[in-house]
């Protein structure tokens, strides 16, 4: 599965990895996701700052469901990338997503009477 810079959301494998990471952190367990993040130099807090803007499944009520459900099985979803590269990839997606939303909003102005 390749990495697409044009994709503006999290891929399913990325989201599953981050959900597993959150599950492990919330249960104070050092599982496969926590170890992979550590081995690749990925800061959980810095990653989740951008990831929760890209996926509603990492926000609010969805977080409580992650805690209550079993930990998702997952692997490192960014082959060949280290933490800083993953963060840049995610921030680039968010930036691209925001630009597209601005263009869409500008081309479809709301008329208020």
Residue 42 lies in a domain: yes
Residue 109 lies in a domain: no
What are the backbone angles phi and psi of residue 7, rounded to the nearest 5°? -75, 130
Helix (H, G, I), strand (E, B), or coil: what is residue 57?
A: helix
Domain that holds residue 64: 12-95
What are the backbone angles phi and psi of residue 75, rounded to the nearest 5°? -130, 165
Residue 67 lies in a domain: yes
pLDDT tens string, the chain, 113 residues long: the values are 344 333 458 999 999 999 999 999 989 999 999 999 999 999 999 998 999 999 988 887 887 888 888 998 999 999 999 999 999 999 999 998 766 665 666 666 665 44
Residue 103 lies in a domain: no
Encode pLDDT of 23-49 as tens digits.
Answer: 999 899 999 999 999 999 999 999 989
Q: Of the candidates 38, 24, 56, 40, which has an alpha carbon nearest to the alpha carbon of residue 89?
A: 40
Q: What is the spatial distance between Cα 96 and Cα 92, in angstroms, rounded to a whole number?
A: 6
């Amino acid at each position: 599965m390749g990495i697409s810079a044009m994709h503006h959301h999290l891929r399913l494998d990325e989201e599953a990895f981050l959900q597993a990471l959150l599950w492990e952190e919330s249960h104070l367990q050092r599982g496969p996701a926590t170890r992979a993040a550590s081995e690749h130099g990925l800061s959980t807090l810095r990653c989740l700052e951008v990831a929760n803007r890209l996926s509603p499944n990492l926000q609010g009520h969805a977080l409580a469901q992650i805690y209550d459900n079993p930990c998702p099985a997952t692997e490192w979803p960014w082959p060949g990338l280290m933490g800083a590269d993953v963060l840049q990839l995610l921030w680039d997606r968010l930036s691209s997503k925001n630009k597209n939303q601005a263009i869409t909003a500008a081309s479809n102005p709301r008329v208020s009477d």
